Amino acid sequence: PDCVLQLHEQTVQTQLLPLGGGPGRPAGPAVPALAERHGMTTWDVGDIPRKLDTTIAAGSGTQRITGYPGLTAETLPDGTPAAGLTVFRTEADQRSAHRAGVVNLLLAQVPSPQRYVLDHLDNREKLTFTQNPHGSVDQLVADCTRAAVDRLVPEDLPFTAGEFQALFTAVRAELIDTVFAVTAVVEKVLSRAGQVRRELKGSVSLAMAPALSDIKAQLGQLIVPGFVAATGWRHLQHLPRYLDGMLRRIERLKAGGHLQRDGLDMAVVQSLEDDFDAAVAAVPAGRPVPAALEEVRWLIEELRISFFAQDLGTAVSVSEKRVRQALKQATG
């Protein structure tokens, strides 16, 4: 079948136009068609054009539109990662979806390191990994493997069969070492998350309850099934610090003397989180959340550190004003 382009929320079938004109047949060069695909587990589509100009019938005339072909992430009924091929409205949509599709194709083809990794976890990791939100250690390691593959995929994504094959060779050679780099960070994350949960238990004063509820919600947003790959390597490395920030905040609250300041700062953070959630909810269904908007979430985490655990330091300069500016730019 011809590819389907999403344009102004209407699905438009692409047309392969003839070279010559005539009644009902506008003149112009033929436009290459691109067949939509689903359930791919190998790169068997040749070279994917980065841009596709297409002429479509529009009323009594024609309209020329540009689409951006790329892969999408899919899952087969048996759980095997797979990819589809489609055309996106924007280059940003293409970039986000194509990356996920490339990761899925690599996961479908590289030998799974799952058993090797499970057999070579140290005793501390084995114990800590049982405290995962995934439901099993196997699922957690699979999540770590996906994150490792994503880390090995460069910003300059493959669009040709040759580029993908070269990437596959590199990923296969480096995957096991990269998975262990990921699991080392995840062990720290889960260990600290366990400490936070223990600190949140027990009786507390009513004055502390709102702050502890906020910390519990923050923890619940960060540590969820699939959090490793969803967070991504770049931000995963900061999760231990965010969790240390929660512990530091709890310590200060229990020591007393910071409740009023904590409440004021918490109100700022929650206002920003509400605005961020509204911006994410406004993204049209079926469209990926823009990368610039995703970054706002992590700016808010850094702002929490600057408010509640300043001595830990932030990865970037951050303030309420900077977060609001970033949110405005991401949604403008």
pLDDT tens for 195-205 read 999 999 977 78
Higher pLDDT, 36 or 192: 192
Q: Name residue 212's amino acid.
A: L
Q: CA of 275: how far to CAs of 43, 75, 318, in Å?
A: 40, 32, 17
| Beta-sheet strands, E only, within 31-80 | 37-40, 52-58, 61-75
pLDDT value for 69: 95
What is the pTM assigned to this prediction? 0.85
What does the CA dihedral 308, 312, 316, 321 come to, rounded to 10 degrees?
Answer: 20
Q: Under a CB-based contact definition with an 8 Å cutoff, are residues 1 and 35 in contact?
A: yes
- Structural domain includes residue 3: yes
pLDDT value for 127: 94
- Structural domain includes residue 275: no
Residue 258 confidence (pLDDT) above 90: no
Rounded to whole angstroms, the Cα distance separating 5 from 11 reads 6
Range of the domain at 15: 1-109
- Structural domain includes residue 49: yes
- Structural domain includes residue 71: yes
- Pick from 326, 325, 323, 331: nearest CA to 278: 331
pLDDT tens for 99-155 read 999 999 999 999 999 999 999 998 999 999 999 999 999 999 999 999 999 999 999
Residue 14 confidence (pLDDT) above 60: no
Give the contacts of 134 (CB within 8 A, at least 6 positions apart): 140, 143, 225, 226
| Beta-sheet strands, E only, within 112-269 | none
Instruction: Return the ∠ at Cα 176 (arms to 175 and 180), rounded to 5°.
Output: 115
DSSP states along 294-318: HHHHHHHHHHHHHHH-GGG--SS--
pLDDT value for 121: 92
pLDDT value for 64: 87
Residue 263 confidence (pLDDT) above 80: yes
Higher pLDDT, 93 or 238: 238
Confidence of residue 76 (pLDDT cuts 50, 70, 90): very high
Domain count, the chain: 1
Crossing angle, helix 259-281 and helix 209-222, to 10 degrees? 40
Residue 23 confidence (pLDDT) above 60: no
- Structural domain includes residue 153: no
What integer is the mean pLDDT of 52-61? 83
pLDDT value for 210: 95
pLDDT value for 48: 96
- Structural domain includes residue 211: no
- Structural domain includes residue 273: no
pLDDT value for 18: 29
DSSP assignment letter at 112: P
- Structural domain includes residue 45: yes
Higher pLDDT, 287 or 232: 232
DSSP assignment letter at 81: E
Place of tokens 């609250």: 253
Residue 30 confidence (pLDDT) above 60: no
